[in-house]
Structure 1
Amino acid sequence: MLQVSFSMYLPSKKITFGIAIFTVTLLLAGLILGAYSLKYIKEIVSDQFNQQQLGLAEHAARQIESQFRLITQELTILNQSPSVQYLERVSWANRIKITFNMIRDAGILEIGRVDEKGEKIYKVNNRDEVQVIPVQYASINPFSWAINPENKGNILLTKILPEKNPSQKHLLMLVMPTYLDSVDDAHPMANHRFAGYIYLLVDTEYFVARAVKDIRSGKTGYAWVIDNESNFLFHPVSEFIGQNAFEVREKRGGGKIVSFDKINQIQKEKMLQGARGTSWYVSGWHRGVSGNIKKLIAYAPIQLKLPTQSLNWAIAVVAPVTEVDEVIHNPFLWQFIMQGIIILAIIFGGLAILSLEWQYTRTLEEEIRNKTADLSQSEKRYKELVESAEDLIYSLDREGRFLSLNYYGAAFLYGKGEPPELEGAVAQSPQLSGPKAFLGQKIFKAFGISEDFNP
């Protein structure tokens, strides 16, 4: 009985271990959710980072487009000057220098005027050198384009690629037909006759670099620009400039296991089609570091529009994903460290509690066993004392039935009248042997007294 009463207050080992496992499971679930949360936050931060890159790309694209409009406007204004139209000996060079000074920072290398026969060029270069030189090739393109009356008022865009040395500058030429439409004191009457054309040479690398060279996305990100034929107009790796982007990547890869399919797809299907957006790709290098480097990319179109012609370039701002990882790595690292410390503290604390509980249970069980043994010994001594007594010793319930009876009492009752009839289920034997024969029997019957007896 003592053991049962103690065990009622002891928690089940299964319940204890169940609670411990449930707690650890919750903590591990918290770690897993934390990992998924980190992944989700990285996606959000990456998207925000890419949106910032897209803002940089679009801003640079608008700068380049605005710069191009300024060049075309200044060329148009210069072409309307009487000094340039009539090639006035005293003033034509000074008038060109005025325009040159206004747009020199846009990468202008030369502004010139070809006469109506295509035999002489009157030009000023970016060193303010004035030259008049005879030519034989001016009668070909673009002279043949300029002499066509249908092209009056229009501007022709044409590329001039290096013929021998690929390291030479890649130039863009803007050509506009010149007609004698203006008047001044020396020419009071305009005859509107074709007088040749005016042209302007632009260093495309310098023209683009002015807007993109200082772009920094994160710590190491940068921008690059391609033209409508996938040639690099600007890239931090100088040997890329002027090269085809698809080809130079494969060449620079040098057979390494790096797939350029993703960036080639973005360039071909998005950038060259005038789309804007964000994505990612894998590169084989980044600022001197080689390997499979995942980069975030934002791209925007650069549209150099003219009434009859336009060029569709594209700018990309890229940065490795490590730029994003660095932003969120340290906070989440400390978070996971703290979670790990808490989990270990709970686990070791739980183990310590379980160990203490186990020790307490063992001690309590040992104490119960000792108490039970003492009680059994006491009960045994009590029975021996009662059974050996030469007195009638018994106990009754409320209805007068024998609960216990010693051997002396049983022997005494055997001498009274007839053998007793068993009434209680407590009797252990069907034969009348010892005190058990009287257990459950009413005392009145055992002594042969009527229950109505009232002394």
Structure 2
Amino acid sequence: MTRKFLAAAVVLFAVLMAVVAFMGWRAKNEIELVVTDQFNGQQLLLAEKIAADIDEHFEFLKTSLRSLSEVWRGMPADSGSPVDAISPFFQMLKHWKVLAMGFARGMDGPPEWFDASGELPGDAGLDTKAALAFALDPARAGAVYVGRVVAPRVGPFAGRRLVLMAAGVSSKTDTHTMTGVILLVLDAMAVAREYAHGVRSGESGYAWVVDDQGYFLDHYEEQFLGQHSIETRRERNPELDWSRIEWLLRERILTGQKGTDWYVSGWHRGVISEMRKLAAFCPAFPSGDDDQGNVWGVCLAAPESEVQGLIGRLVIREWLVVVLFEAVVFFGFVVAMWFSLRFSRMLGAEVERKKAELVKAQEKLIRSERFAAIGQAAAHLSHEIKNPLMLMSGFARQVRRTLADDDKNAEKLRIVEEEARRLEAMLNEVRDFSRPVPPRIELGDIGVTVEETVRMMTEGLKTRGVRVTFEAGRGIPLVPHDAGRLRQVLINLMKNAAEAMPEGGEVRVSTDFADGFALVTVSDNGPGIPPDVASRMFEPFCTTKESGTGLGLAVCQRIIEDHKGEIGYVTSPGKGTRFTIRLPV
């Protein structure tokens, strides 16, 4: 009977394995479809983001041109050359990839051009007829001309792929009479590179951008830049069939469509072989509604094998787990049945059930004891430290009252009182770390808060051989902040900096204002932060100090986030670390 039972069990196991294999094969195919769609969907989101950034770039320049035309329109007639009037704006716009600016009074004379070095002599090599005709048309007052990508053969911009933008300047007395045109020369490849270069999908996928003629404005491979996207591929591998990517460009990407597809390529990031790539694409429209044919195609591409290889590895692991699980179940079933012939099955099941309940109860008891111990320790620690702090604060306050107001020791005792209160507050934060109290934010001078903290810490750090320097920024508006909480952050950062330099060094503290944020920096010239610690700097209980709690930077980060601000750092081995706090004004 036992032999028959074992034989039946083996047959049953083989049938189950065959069923699982068939189901696994079907599941693999279904997973490949689902994951491929999801991967392409993620690529499409990246392509949409790049295209939106490019559109926003052009919208900003359009707004800037309209503003410039209004500025020039409102200037006196004897204000001098238009170039002198609008050239100061070039210093701002050159950061937006503007290579040159110009001004034309009409269709007849050539525009006056200038760049960062001054006026450009001679012909700039640009055909401005279409731009001038557009901008000088009274019916288009207030509109901005955005041309298609061109590559001049002569002039200072020869060989570069450019976009010409123009806006008309109307008369003061009659908005329908155009007195001139302001022009911009934009580096199209620099714009595409700004938003597409370095974007990665999956492990090795990258982005590329083409203009309305199919020329690469950005690509992972530098030698492709400025080349035609089909011709340069054919030149590299003339034996490969490029009809799929040619159709994709002509019928979908350069017609302004958005979606996902695939094409065949002959290489990818240094790997030379014929492969199928997944592609997601989205259009950018530099001209907006004025020229729907002016399309920049943004595409994210990654090898299909990258996705399917990952799926294959996952499926293999899944099958191995299933097979192992079934083998364990099968042999367990055989053993259980063999023992069931000799012992009571009900007794075995009851024993297993009781055992499972006992294990769960034991685990629950251990967790409860741990939490209770932690809570008692935290309460005991808070009680034992807060009592001496209260005594210190009280004694300092009593002694200070016996001193004259102008006594230097009175000021020191006041600092002792304040620091005792601050330490008491820090104990409360340690105890209530998971239940933070909102800061009391008030509008105040952040420079005063920082300077007072630096002055308070200078003498203490000087005894460690650490020199403290402070540089106050100018023009910083009042900043909403909790002075006590911010002082706690600065003290923590300065102490950390000093402790990182046991042999002495320099701690530099400065304030500044930029882009609507008040900036506070604390830097040192110590050894820097080790890489294995840097990735976990702001995690609770992450510390390299034997006596540290690991809550200092975590508390600092929470305080700054409660102020709607940001805290970050830059570290260099052997050169030091700089922490920067950004608080909105």
Task: Calculate the TM-score normalised by the size of structure 1.
Answer: 0.62
Task: Name the larger-Rg structure.
Answer: 1
Letter in 2 for 1:169: R
Measured in 2, the distance between the counterparts of 1:226 and 1:139 equals 23
Query: Which of 45, 55, 63 is 2:45 aligned to?
Result: 55
Measured in 1, the distance between the counterparts of 2:135 and 2:266 equals 46
1:8-56 deviations in Å (ceiling 9; x for gaps)? xx5897x976664443132122123223222322222222121111111
Measured in 1, the distance between the counterparts of 2:216 and 2:244 equals 18
1:210 equivalent to 2:194? Answer: yes
1:301 equivalent to 2:291? Answer: no
Measured in 2, the distance between the counterparts of 1:139 and 1:205 equals 20
Q: 1:268 to 1:23 in 2, by over 3 A?
A: same
Shift of 1:59: 1.1
Measured in 2, the distance between the counterparts of 1:107 and 1:216 equals 23
Measured in 1, the distance between the counterparts of 2:298 and 2:125 equals 38
Which residue of structure 1 lines up, in the alignment, with residue 256 of structure 2?
A: 274
SS at match of 1:119: coil
Which residue of structure 2 lines up, in the alignment, with residue 333 of structure 1?
A: 316
Give the alignment's Cα RMSD to 1 decimal.
Answer: 3.9
Q: 1:12 to 1:235 in 2, by over 3 A?
A: closer
Note the 1:155-304 alignment, pairs <5 A.
155-158=144-147, 159-163=149-153, 168-179=159-170, 181-182=171-172, 193-256=177-240, 259-304=241-286
1:50-106 deviations in Å (ceiling 9; x for gaps)? 111111111111111111111111112112223797786657445424432333233
Which residue of structure 2 lines up, in the alignment, with residue 364 of structure 1?
A: none
Which residue of structure 1 lines up, in the alignment, with residue 485 of structure 2?
A: none
Report percent identity of matched pairs: 25
Which residue of structure 2 lines up, in the alignment, with residue 368 of structure 1?
A: none
SS at match of 1:254: coil
Measured in 2, the distance between the counterparts of 1:229 and 1:135 equals 23
Note the 1:78-157 alignment, pairs <5 A.
78-82=68-72, 90=80, 92-93=82-83, 95-116=85-106, 118-125=108-115, 127-131=116-120, 141-143=130-132, 146-157=135-146
Shift of 1:191: 9.2
User: Structure with the greater relative contact order (CA < 8 A, sep ≥ 6): 1 or 2?
Assistant: 1
* Contact 2:146/2:286 (8 A) holds in 1: no
Letter in 2 for 1:333: I
How many pairs are equivalent? 332
1:371-424 deviations in Å (ceiling 9; x for gaps)? xxxxxxxxxxxxxxxxxxxxxxxxxxxxxxxxxxxxxxxxxxxxxxxxxxxxxx
Measured in 1, the distance between the counterparts of 2:72 and 2:332 equals 95
* Contact 1:118/1:143 (8 A) holds in 2: no
SS at match of 1:80: helix
Q: In structure 2, list runs of 5 or more residues that go unmatched.
A: 334-585
Which region of structure 1 is more displaced relative to structure 2, 44-53 or 263-272?
263-272
Which region of structure 1 is more displaced relative to structure 2, 334-343 or 272-281?
334-343
* Contact 2:41/2:280 (8 A) holds in 1: yes
Which region of structure 1 is more displaced relative to structure 2, 267-276 or 279-288?
267-276
1:286-313 deviations in Å (ceiling 9; x for gaps)? 0111112222211112123445434222
Which region of structure 1 is more displaced relative to structure 2, 167-176 or 142-151?
142-151
Which residue of structure 2 lines up, in the alignment, with residue 314 of structure 1?
A: 297
SS at match of 1:61: helix
Query: Which of 14, 29, 53 is 1:24 aligned to?
Result: 14
Shift of 1:202: 0.7
Q: 1:249 to 1:117 in 2, by over 3 A?
A: closer
Letter in 2 for 1:292: E
Measured in 1, the distance between the counterparts of 2:243 and 2:175 equals 59
Task: Calculate the TM-score normalised by the size of structure 2.
Answer: 0.49
SS at match of 2:199: coil
Query: Which of 65, 70, 79 is 1:75 aligned to?
Result: 65
Which region of structure 1 is more displaced relative to structure 2, 51-60 or 94-103?
94-103
Letter in 2 for 1:252: R
Measured in 2, the distance between the counterparts of 1:210 and 1:173 equals 18
Measured in 1, the distance between the counterparts of 2:46 and 2:118 equals 37
* Contact 1:299/1:315 (8 A) holds in 2: yes
Shift of 1:112: 0.5
Q: 1:227 to 1:138 in 2, by over 3 A?
A: closer
Letter in 2 for 1:99: F
SS at match of 1:81: helix
* Contact 2:97/2:187 (8 A) holds in 1: yes
Shift of 1:262: 3.1
SS at match of 1:304: coil
Shift of 1:108: 0.8
Q: 1:135 to 1:249 in 2, by over 3 A?
A: closer
SS at match of 2:220: coil
